[in-house]
Amino acid sequence: AQSVTQLDSQVPVFEEAPVELRCNYSSSVSVYLFWYVQYPNQGLQLLLKYLSGSTLVKGINGFEAEFNKSQTSFHLRKPSVHISDTAEYFCAVSGQGNEKLTFGTGTRLTIIP
């Protein structure tokens, strides 16, 4: 079984500042890792995913994440945030060969003008 920990429930950031949203996972098997975003009153949209290969993964809207196996982390970063990035961000993990996603509790990103 897998689990995901998102330590920060809320992250306020000034507009145009960088941001990092933390995600740590636990698993006894190799995993796939995902970041999803949920804009207000909308569903879950895939930002990016790590399946294999390069540990630095680039996604939509200027976000990127780095898979660190030794630290079991998959932190999400953006060098300069915009008001439109205000949303809830969910880290998720699945075992390879098992499509079921296990989600973290989410991090609410609030952009301060």
Partner 1 sequence: EPEVTQTPSHQVTQMGQEVILRCVPISNHLYFYWYRQILGQKVEFLVSFYNNEISEKSEIFDDQFSVERPDGSNFTLKIRSTKLEDSAMYFCASSEPSGKKLFFGSGTQLSVL
Q: For binding to partner 1 (CB under 8 A), which residues are involved?
A: 32, 36, 42-46, 49, 51, 90, 92, 98-106
- Which of 36, 34, 56, 54 has the alpha carbon at shortest distance from 44? 36
Of 18 and 58, CB closest to partner 1: 58
Q: How far apart are CA 91 and CA 93, in angstroms?
A: 7
Instruction: Work out how close the CB of 15 gets to partner 1 at its nearest, in angstroms, rounded to a whole number.
Output: 26
Q: Which amino acid is at 93?
A: V
Encoding tokens for residue 89? 């961000």
- Residue whose CB is less far from partner 1, 50 or 81: 50
Min separation Cβ 54 and partner 1, Å: 16
We find the least distance from the C-beta atom of residue 109 to partner 1, in angstroms, to be: 16
How far apart CA 46 and CA 1 sit, in angstroms, is 22
